[in-house]
Amino acid sequence: MIQQRADFTVEAAKGGGFFAYYMDNLLCSAYGETPDEARSNLERVVEDFVSDMYMVEEYV
């Protein structure tokens, strides 16, 4: 099962569960037991990634 949107993709993982990731940035990826959980976890990863980027800019 593959669920794809313009910004991210959710695929069934081989060992069970689901893997969500952004095609443009593979550093932003997440796992979940359901497609919705994987998507939700991916949103949190992206929020943390963007937050970390802003923190770095403050110190540069």
Instruction: Report the distance separating Cα 45 and Cα 54, nearest Å.
Output: 14
Q: Please give the angle made by the CA atoms of 26, 7 and 14, to the nearest 5 degrees.
A: 55
Give pLDDT, residue 21.
92
Residues in Cβ contact with 41 at an 8 Å cutoff, skipping those fewer than 6 apart:
20, 30, 31, 32
List per-residue pLDDT tens for the chain, 60 residues long: 556 566 889 999 999 999 999 887 777 899 999 999 999 999 999 888 878 777 665 655
pTM for this prediction? 0.73
